[in-house]
Structure 1
Amino acid sequence: MTMNALTRSQIYVLDQDEALDFYVGKLGLEVHTDVDLGFMRWLTVNVPGDRDREILLEKPGPPALDPATAEQVRELLTKGAMGGWLSITTDDAHKTYEALVAKGVDITDEPTERPYGIDFGIRDPFGNRIRIGQMNPQS
């Protein structure tokens, strides 16, 4: 058995249209798939040009969660206690930071030099944490 790619990740969002506004409108990701399956909306985004890796922006509910559990997840998400975590790279951390500040994105910390590069933190409207980094070249 050989695993050869990570293709999809998932984070919970309370409102998929608001999530689209944030991830596409503010972060500059692009819609990969937006399909009404009847029992749920399958909504994924990806970094422009990287259609092999998708992020599912999933509303808590069926089929993954029963109604009572979905309500608990929504409560925890609203309190900021259940946010997911994403890491996105950029060619210029400082320029990206300034652009996101200008768009009113919730910044959790400013660009900082680290052993692996320069990175900073933001939060989406649902409490999910995102690190954006300009990575040092690997030797």
Structure 2
Amino acid sequence: MSEGVQVVGIYVRDQQEALEFYVKKVGFMVHTDVRNGDYRWLTVQYPGQMLFQLGLFLPGPPTIDAATAKSVNEVLAKGAMPPLVLEVSDCFATCERLRAAGVELIQEPVERYGTVDAGFRDPSGNGWKLLQSRRS
């Protein structure tokens, strides 16, 4: 039997906006986009990582109650969520591609710790670190 993490979810304020950001600007691909009433199960994948999905979920039922969802949205708006990390082969080139696609960097590429890293946020405030592979 094979077991492992398949989906890691993040909360977003607007699923359509998040979908367009991750697909059109960052380069993810849609994996699953299905609805069950008002609930939308939306996942994307980074090319080459076919066993791992990033879920783009709205805070609220059925996973959390409305009061908690309000609090989560407030935290998202402040950009207070811990960053996710995206490994890239060339941090400088990736930043140029993202910038050209309209992504605002919150940290320009910096060489440190024997590698290069940079940062950006999605439209909901989720932080991302770009980390250049040490293999590069």
Q: Normalising by structure 1, what TM-score?
A: 0.88
Identity percentage of aligned residues: 45
Does the aligned pair in 2 maintain the 1:39–1:62 contact within 8 Å? no
**What residue is the counterpart of 1:77 in the other structure?**
76
**Alpha-carbon displacement from aligned partner over 1:67-121 (angstroms, at most 9, x marks no partner):** 121122112222333x342111111111111111112212111111122411100
Q: RMSD in angstroms over aligned alpha carbons?
A: 2.0
**What residue is the counterpart of 2:16 in the other structure?**
17
Amino acid at match of 1:9: V
The counterpart of 1:107, out of the listed 101, 105, 108, is 105
Structure 2: which 5+ residue stretches go unaligned?
Answer: none
Does the aligned pair in 2 maintain the 1:39–1:63 contact within 8 Å? no
Matched, 1:92 2:101: no
Structure 1: which 5+ residue stretches go unaligned?
Answer: none
**Alpha-carbon displacement from aligned partner over 1:28-68 (angstroms, at most 9, x marks no partner):** 00111111022510000111132210111010110111112
- Give distance in 2, aligned partners of 1:58 and 1:97: 26
Does the aligned pair in 2 maintain the 1:77–1:126 contact within 8 Å? yes
Does the aligned pair in 2 maintain the 1:36–1:42 contact within 8 Å? yes
Name the SS for the 2:71 alignment partner: helix
Name the SS for the 2:24 alignment partner: helix
Q: Normalising by structure 2, what TM-score?
A: 0.90
Matches within 5 A, 1:1-139: 5-81=4-80, 83-137=81-135
Name the SS for the 2:124 alignment partner: coil
